[in-house]
């Protein structure tokens, strides 16, 4: 179980979700003090087939197996829900109702419950019942091709992770409200909704005319001589453009203002690309940062884990059961997040005093 000094100490969460979005939400809650009881189906959460991922999503939790198709286990699960502050589930609409611990069934025995459902397309709407996984919800939300053209698939499951983070945020907000008024809440988190708001109703625009910010010379990723890549973040700022030009041997273009750079975008982008291609990644990034130019190496996972900055902030850390590991995504000065127990073995906590606070 999580520590007694966490920000959410005393909050009881019943987690009936599997795979990634719901467990990620409750992992975030558990590391800041929530007591998370993980209900698993016979055979366990399918994510157990991926031990490293399972470990990253389920530390500090307790596990109990219930077969919710069996009346006895259904009654026991509902009894746990009656004593919980929060219930989290991640199935398609209607599934939890059929299993006996849907919102109406839980609210009947626990009117102040915060009940959070995480799904791909939401609890209502024409597409609510369709099947899908992370990639499908990205596609529905315009993420893969926001402005047309061939789709580009992100390397990480952003729909799953965005939904988990949003669910944790919504649960915390609802918990504050309940502390003040005693009211419960029904939370409907749809992966596609969140990504649709990230895609947005309009493409990002630069400060001049209708030019795309992503078409600005000096903004983008560029290959280096040692087969690496750097990312440059120069947009409208002349005070970034000038030292970039100086470092790349393009000093005779340094005086160009933003409007002039946009007008000559293809030419300048080609010059920047060619100049970067002649330099080694880390040496160039160091020089650019020294000149106060927004530049960064494009790191892979291994390189990210080795970065001293993330180690210093304990974003990259170690658990007694896993090294390396990644830590909590935000810092709390007074009540820090912590992983104090490894992910549970399947049904490890059957017989625990779940009703004892």
Cβ-in-10-Å burial (0-12, 13-18, 19+) of 237 comes to middle
101 in Cβ contact with 78 (< 8 Å)? yes
158 in Cβ contact with 88 (< 8 Å)? no
**Using one digit for the tens of pLDDT, what is the confidence trace for 257-268?**
999 999 999 999
- Ranking 4-13, 16-25, 210-219, 305-314 by mean pLDDT, the lowest is 210-219
**DSSP of 197-233:** HHH-SS--B-SSTT-BGGGSTTEEEEE-TTS-EEEEE
- Name the residue among 99, 114, 35 with its Cα closest to residue 355: 35
What does the pLDDT read at residue 357? 52
318 in Cβ contact with 255 (< 8 Å)? no
Number of C-beta neighbours around residue 245 at 10 A: 23
**Using one digit for the tens of pLDDT, what is the confidence trace for 160-196?**
999 999 999 999 999 999 999 999 999 999 998 898 8
Q: Is 140 helix (H, G, I), strand (E, B) or coil?
A: helix
- Percent of the chain topping pLDDT 70: 94
Q: Which helix or strand (DSSP H or E) is residue 87 part of?
A: strand 86-89
- Name the residue among 38, 86, 108, 68 with its Cα closest to residue 187: 86
- The first and second tokens of residue 272, run together, are 């920047």
93 in Cβ contact with 128 (< 8 Å)? yes
**DSSP of 142-195:** T-S-TTSSS----SS-HHHHHHHHHHHHHHHHHHHHHHHH---EEEEEEHHHHH
Assess whether pLDDT exceeds 50 at residue 296.
yes
Assess whether pLDDT exceeds 90 at residue 353.
no
Q: Is 81 helix (H, G, I), strand (E, B) or coil?
A: helix
Q: Catalogue all structural domains in the chain, each as residue range(s) with its CATH number.
A: 12-200+312-326 (3.40.50.10540), 213-298 (3.30.1540.10)
| CA–CA dist 346, 24 (Å, integer) | 18
**Using one digit for the tens of pLDDT, what is the confidence trace for 231-243?**
999 988 999 999 9
**Using one digit for the tens of pLDDT, what is the confidence trace for 314-332?**
888 888 888 888 887 777 7
- Ranking 35-39, 88-92, 261-265, 314-318 by mean pLDDT, the lowest is 314-318
- Ranking 56-70, 182-196, 282-296, 306-320 by mean pLDDT, the lowest is 306-320
**Using one digit for the tens of pLDDT, what is the confidence trace for 140-150?**
888 988 888 88
Compute CA distances 184 → 163, 174, 205, whole Å: 21, 7, 41
């Amino acid at each position: 179980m999580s520590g007694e000094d966490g920000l959410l100490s005393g909050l009881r969460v019943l987690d009936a979700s599997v795979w990634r979005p719901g467990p990620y939400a409750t992992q975030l809650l558990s590391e800041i003090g929530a007591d998370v009881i993980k209900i698993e189906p016979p055979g366990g959460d399918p994510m157990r087939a991926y031990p490293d991922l399972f470990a990253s999503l389920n530390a500090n939790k307790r596990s109990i197996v219930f077969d919710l198709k069996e009346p006895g286990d259904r009654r026991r699960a509902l009894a746990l829900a009656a004593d919980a502050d929060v219930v989290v589930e991640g199935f398609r609409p209607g599934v939890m109702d059929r299993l006996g611990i849907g919102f109406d069934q839980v609210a009947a025995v626990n009117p102040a419950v915060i009940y959070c459902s995480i799904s791909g397309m939401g609890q209502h709407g024409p597409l609510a019942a369709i099947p899908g996984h992370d990639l499908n919800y990205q596609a529905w939300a315009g993420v893969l091709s926001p402005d047309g053209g061939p789709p580009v698939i992100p390397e990480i499951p952003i729909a799953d992770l965005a939904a988990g983070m949003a669910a944790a945020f919504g649960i915390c907000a609802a918990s504050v409200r309940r502390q003040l008024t005693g009211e419960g809440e029904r939370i409907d988190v749809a992966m596609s909704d969140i990504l649709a708001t990230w895609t947005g109703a309009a493409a990002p625009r630069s400060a001049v005319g209708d030019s795309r910010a992503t078409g600005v010379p000096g903004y983008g990723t560029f290959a280096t001589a040692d087969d690496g890549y750097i990312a440059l973040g120069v947009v409208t700022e002349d005070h970034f453009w000038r030292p970039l030009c100086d470092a790349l041997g393009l000093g005779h273009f340094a005086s160009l203002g933003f409007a002039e750079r946009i007008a000559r975008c293809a030419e300048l982008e080609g010059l920047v690309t060619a100049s970067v291609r002649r330099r080694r990644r880390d040496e160039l990034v160091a020089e650019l940062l020294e000149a106060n130019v927004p530049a960064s190496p494009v790191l892979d996972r291994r390189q990210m884990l080795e970065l001293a900055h993330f180690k210093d902030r304990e974003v990259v850390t170690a658990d007694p059961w896993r090294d390396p590991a990644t830590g909590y995504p935000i810092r709390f000065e007074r009540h820090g997040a912590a992983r104090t127990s490894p992910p549970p073995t399947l049904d490890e906590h059957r017989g625990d005093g779940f009703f004892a606070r």
